[in-house]
Chain A
Amino acid sequence: MAEVTEDKKVDTDSKRVHTYPLIRHSDMNDEMKTEAMELCVTACEKFASNNENAAKMIKDTMDKKFGASWHAVVGEGYGFEITHEVKNLLYMFFGGNMAIILWKCS
């Protein structure tokens, strides 16, 4: 019995959903990084059901704050190969199933 319960514990542990934002890769400076991360979180929470709008919001806001030509991709599954301006890349996960890639290239 003890074993079974332990197994269950482990199971629940592994199935625990992590929803916090997790920066996977970024070469931004800290200030920009936190701002961008917070923006992504806000956008994804606001448009939880519409990735397109979320991406649009991220892109528009970043354009306003840090100058033009930002690109954002929000989705659950995709592949990408991008060229970005150095110090302007953020690749993060959010909500346990969402990946956001945000970069600048003009």
Chain B
Amino acid sequence: MPPKQVKSKTAASLDRKRSKRGDGDDLTEMGDGTEQDDWMQAKTLVKPEDQLELSEAELKEEFTRILTANNPHAPQNIVRYSFKERQYKQTSSVDQLAVHFALDGNLLHKDSEEARKQFNRTGLAETKEAEPAEGAAEAAAAEEGAEEGAAEEGKEEGGDEEAATAEPTKAAGKEKKLTNQFNFSERASQTYNNPFRDRGTVTEPPPRASFSSNVTQWEIYDAYQEDFEKQEKSKEKKVIPGRKEEEKSKKKFQISETSSDDITRVETAAKIVERMVNQNTYDDIAQDFRYWEDVSDEFRDSEGTLLPLWKFSFEKAKKLAITSVCWSPKYCDLVAVSCGSYDFMKQGSGLIILWTMKNPSFPECFFETDSGVMCLDVHPQHPHWICAGFYDGSVAIFSAVDKREGAIHRCTAKNGKHTDPVWQVRWQKDDADNNMNFYSISSDGRICLWTILKNEMVYQDVIRLSLPDVSAEGPDGIKVATTGCGTAFDFHKQKDYLFLVGTEEGKVHICSKAYTSHFIDTIDAHNMAVYKVCWNRFHPKIFITCSADWTVKIWEMKDTMDKSESVDETRKPLFSFDLNNSVGDVAWAPYSSTVFAAVTSDGKAFVYDLNANKYEPLCEQMVAQKKKTKLTHVEFNPTYPIVVIGDDRGNVTSLKLSPNLRKMKAEKKGAPPVDEATKIQREIEKLEKILSMVRNQPTEATA
């Protein structure tokens, strides 16, 4: 729309010019035009050069021309075929219209219908806008004028008036000037480019490894074959130890299969670290173990103390009693203990634990068993073999080095299992075929020899403890031979065949492996069950017994020759000590022939040295922490001056013997060191000296 208006405006101005140039009749516009022409360029008439120069007369001459509506170029003889008359005929009507030029314009006349419509539609707003603008301009001008008038008083008012009227018209003209919508202006600007900077870093490449192999059919075949064999083997293994264990081992197997990078690789390192930590934690105890000596011992003659060192307790053994203690013959810091229960009503699982003094916090190794372990023994030559007897009457051997869970061999009801708890087991020297063998004693009256062959364990009854003088009568009058109940035995240190058997009836039999049903000698030693019999470590004829009848007795084995002469005399012990409670265990010291230790059910430990005092213990000490705890077993360490004591709560306590408790025979200063044989000889002499005193007055000795 605006361009149209513009064009119409220019057309108007052209008209005006024409009129000005022509007649000059439009006077009203003249004033305006001159004013406008002031700033416009002066117009010059441009004539074509070849225009005729005509005189006035010639110009005034009139030529008459008649214009007709006939087209001179129209054809006059148009012949067309007439379908009506079916012949060619000349048409009379000829089109006289000739079009020389046609142009479709987009201009509209301002006053035309169309233009008005368009004004109504869009132009309305414009005019409305324009009107207030005009008004504003006028008002502004008026104000200006007023101000000017105020500023320049006395000036020609008329001129001012003129200026004031001229200005609004100018302003209105400016306002009406419409912008050219096609008048674009392009603008561009350039921003600064940020400078570039290169920065690089190199990471370490992921670790790589090389691998190479060859694939051939035979390699694949071999691999499968090998794997298959492995599987077969593992299956076989699983089948042997019974179904429960099979499942267990299966699980274990799977675990070990799946986790290739398990802890075993760092096992040794972990063990060392564990021991280091323990060494730090238990440093004071270790110092005591090495260096502490009770100074007060020097000032009292025949008294000593026991210093508690490490206490070994294990979570799983909390509710079990220590049923036997055995030091490892090879590693002087290693002690094997068995855990079970002495209570007939509270039987359950058992444990075999190997403790080391280097690590009191956790066992070096342990085996869990389904039945209570009542006794064990560590093989003197092969210290990893452990034989054990169970409450259910079976015996088994374990290996501490194998990573196996359970027993290597265990007897069953089919091959010689005892029918009552096994109270003691003891390794013997390897037999003629170099097979390991051990003895077991049980309250079913049998003493069995177990020989370990390549993959089985065979048994042989060595002796049956029968009670010839008593025979029970069955319900229908049949005589049933009663058997004695063996509770303890010990083999002679020098004479292989000779051994002692303690029974529940309080008897002690001196037996030989050679006779299965005959005793060399029998002593009515105690009134109640004998808990332990033990040969003296030095003197070949002396042994000690302890019993539930509160006593510990020392006996001398008489030669068989004079047995017949003085039968009665053998019935009397050389020494008898009353400890005021059931004596669980007694043990000879390894360093002296006259020292022994005993533990009782009221939690006390006793240490005697016959050389120092024949009647009273050198030391009587409460060892158990809690009042009701019973002490069950005691054992001397073969090299260090310590004892371990087990109680019925699964704890094992190690105690150091004070100097008075381990007095050796005083050696003369400057004397050459004595060899083993003379040492033993001296010990025997020492004991013999005491014995000879006692033999003379046997009644006096029994305290």
Residues of A within 8 A of B (CB): 14, 16, 18, 22, 24-25, 27, 30, 75-86, 89, 91, 93, 96-99, 101, 103, 105
Contacts and interface: CB of A to CB of B under 8 A. Distances in A.
Interface in B159-188: none
B455 interface: no
B212, B215, B224, B228: most-surrounded residue (chain A CB, <10 A): B215
B208 A83 contact: yes
Interface string B203-222: 00011111111111100110
A89 B215 contact: no
A91 B220 CA distance: 11
Contact of B209 (A30, A86, A101): A86
Contact of A82 (B212, B215, B216): B212
A103 to B, nearest CB: 7
23 contacts: A18-B227, A25-B211, A30-B258, A77-B217, A78-B214, A79-B213, A79-B214, A80-B212, A81-B210, A82-B211, A83-B208, A84-B209, A84-B210, A84-B211, A85-B207, A86-B208, A89-B209, A89-B211, A91-B211, A93-B223, A97-B220, A99-B215, A105-B208
B224 A96 contact: yes
Contacts of A76: 215, 217
Nearest to B220: A93
B225 interface: yes
Given A83-B208, A83-B209, A91-B213, A30 B224 contact: no
Given A14-B225, A24-B223, A78 B215 contact: yes
A85 B215 CA distance: 21
B259 interface: yes
B213 A97 contact: no
Contacts of B215: 75-80, 99, 101
Contacts of B213: 24-25, 79-80, 91, 101
Contacts of B211: 25, 81-82, 84, 89, 91, 103
A-B pairs, 3 with minimum CB distance: A81-B212, A99-B215, A18-B224
A80 to B, nearest CB: 6
A86 B224 contact: no
A52 B662 CA distance: 84
A101 B259 CA distance: 22
Nearest to A19: B224
Nearest to B218: A77
Contacts of B227: 18, 22
B83 to A, nearest CB: 82
Contacts, number: 72
A97 B220 CA distance: 6
A99 B216 CA distance: 9
Nearest to A85: B206
B213 to A, nearest CB: 7
Given A80-B213, A80-B215, A96-B224, 19 more contacts: A18-B227, A22-B224, A24-B223, A25-B211, A76-B217, A77-B215, A78-B215, A79-B212, A79-B213, A79-B214, A80-B212, A81-B212, A83-B209, A91-B211, A96-B220, A96-B221, A97-B217, A99-B215, A101-B213
A106 to B, nearest CB: 8
A96 B222 CA distance: 10
Contacts of B206: 85-86
Nearest to B221: A96
Nearest to A98: B220
B208 A77 contact: no
B211 to A, nearest CB: 6
Contacts of A16: 228
Contacts of A14: 225
B224 A93 contact: yes
A82 B215 CA distance: 14
Contacts of B258: 30
A89 B211 CA distance: 9
B256 to A, nearest CB: 13
A101 B258 CA distance: 20
Nearest to B259: A30
A30 B216 CA distance: 27
B208 A84 contact: yes
Contacts of A85: 206-209
A14 B211 CA distance: 30
Contacts of A75: 215
Nearest to A103: B211
Contacts of A82: 210-212
Interface in B208-255: 208-217, 220-221, 223-225, 227-228
A101 B212 CA distance: 10
Contacts of A25: 211, 213
Interface string B255-285: 0001100000000000000000000000000
A65 B209 CA distance: 22
B263 to A, nearest CB: 15
Nearest to A88: B206
B84 to A, nearest CB: 87
B216 A77 contact: yes
Nearest to A81: B212
A96 B217 CA distance: 8
B220 A99 contact: yes
Nearest to A27: B209
A29 to B, nearest CB: 9
